[in-house]
Amino acid sequence: MFKIVEKEILAPNIFSMDILAPRVAASAKPGQFVIVIADETGERVPLTICDYDAEKGTVQIVVQSMGSSTKKMAVYEKGDSFKDFVGPLGVPSEFVNEDLEELKKKKILFVAGGVGTAPVYPQVKWLHERGVKVDVIMGAKTKDLVILEDKLRSVADNLYVATDDGSYGFHGLVTNYIEELVNNQGKEYDVCIAIGPMIMMKFVALTTKKLNIKTIVSLNPIMVDGTGMCGACRVTVGNETKFACVDGPEFDGHLVDFDEALKRQGQYKTEEVKKDHKHHE
């Protein structure tokens, strides 16, 4: 069993939990994820790692309660335990194995959208701890949904916040902010790492293609086993079939077939809604 040692509400329907999982905490690297199984009847829920502390043996996850499985997780409180906590899964971010001196020369931009801000944090923290300065754009629908702002501000060189409705920070989408920084404020970037909803990553990739900035995205398609066996998470990248759980989750954003990925994710959402309705009957 894996004990919840801390729980915090970050925004409406978004909460973080610190889970006691020393083995995962000791080996987790930026870019990786976990699969959580709440109880005997629980489904396997893939979740991004927001933070980890090898000394305390804890791993922090951030969950948005949307489907039936995450809604079930939301009722768990501090002191309760999950049945299983599998990970770390997936390939760590590319930069983890890059030469540090080369990395320091690069101008890196992170783009975090909504709940996708959670997996951006450990990446920026890892780089900050090694003296690599990066800029971060974070976008949310409204001020209420801006999460982890203080944590990110403490590790980012520059943090740019945008809201869709203009209730806080820059008024516009993250893609508008990328264009504002590059076209109007004279910023230059060699690499962009974008994590957020699939539709955001699609449009960030289109924007950075125009601006000629190499782009990495972290895909979160449907996952079932998380071990490369079931095929549920398959995505097309540069005309090749990849499994996000073992080949990813990070891929070259300019090569991902987003339209196919969005279509497959849409089918899944319909299933989740159906399941929810069944639940309420």
Which residues in this chain contact ligand FES in the complex, by CB under 6 A? 223-226, 228-233, 243, 245
Determine, following the binding rule CB under 6 A, whether residue 90 of this chain makes contact with ligand NAD.
no
Report if residue 36 touches ligand NAD, rule: CB under 6 A: no
Q: Are strands 134-140 and 58-64 parallel, antiparallel or unpaired?
A: unpaired
CB nearer ligand FES, residue 182 or residue 245: 245
Binding mask 60-79 for ligand NAD (x = CB under 6 A): ----x---------------
> Is residue 24 a contact partner of residue 3, using CB atoms and an 8 Å limit?
no
Partner whose binding site includes residue 16, from ligand NAD, ligand FES, none (CB under 5 to 8 Å by kind): none
Alpha carbon distance 252, 218 (integer Å) = 9
* Chosen residue from 20, 200, 223, 233 binding ligand NAD by CB under 6 A: 200
Instruction: Tell me the three-class secondary structure of the chain, residue by residue.
Output: CEEEEEEEEEECCEEEEEEECHHHHHHCCCCCEEEEECCCCCCEEEEEEEEEECCCCEEEEEEECCCHHHHHHHCCCCCCEECEEEEEECCCCHHHHCCHHHHHHCCEEEEEEHHHHHHHHHHHHHHHHCCCCEEEEEEECCHHHCCCHHHHHCCCCEEEEEECCCCCCEECCHHHHHHHHHHHCCCCCCEEEEECCHHHHHHHHHHHHHCCCEEEEECCCCCCCCCCCCCCCEEEECCEEEEHHHHCCEEECCCECHHHHHHHHHHHHHHHHHHHHHHHC
**67, amino acid identity:** G
Q: Which is nearer to ligand FES, 183 or 241 (CB)?
A: 241
**Pairing mode, if any, of strands 134-140 and 240-243?**
unpaired
Rounded CA gap, 187 and 182, in Å? 5
Selection from ligand FES, ligand NAD, none that 134 binds (CB < 5 to 8 A by kind) is: none
By CB under 6 A, tell whether 11 contacts ligand NAD: no
Q: Which of 28, 108, 174, 213 binds ligand NAD (CB under 6 A)?
A: 174
Does 48 participate in binding ligand NAD (rule CB under 6 A)?
yes
Print the binding letters for residues 205-234 with ligand NAD: x by CB under 6 A, - otherwise: -------------x-x--------------
Q: Is 173 in the site for ligand NAD (CB under 6 A)?
A: yes
Smallest separation, CB 248 to ligand FES (Å) = 9
For the bound state, the minimum distance from the C-beta of residue 139 to ligand NAD, rounded and expressed in Å, comes to 3
The distance of closest approach from Cβ of residue 151 to ligand FES in the complex, given in angstroms and rounded to an integer, is: 29
Is 203 one of the binding residues for ligand NAD (CB under 6 A)? yes
231 binds, among ligand NAD, ligand FES, none (CB under 5 to 8 A by kind): ligand FES
Decide: is 119 part of the binding site for ligand NAD (CB under 6 A). Answer: yes
| Chain residues that interact with ligand NAD, rule: CB under 6 A | 48, 64, 113-116, 119, 139-141, 162, 164, 173-175, 195-197, 199-200, 203, 218, 220
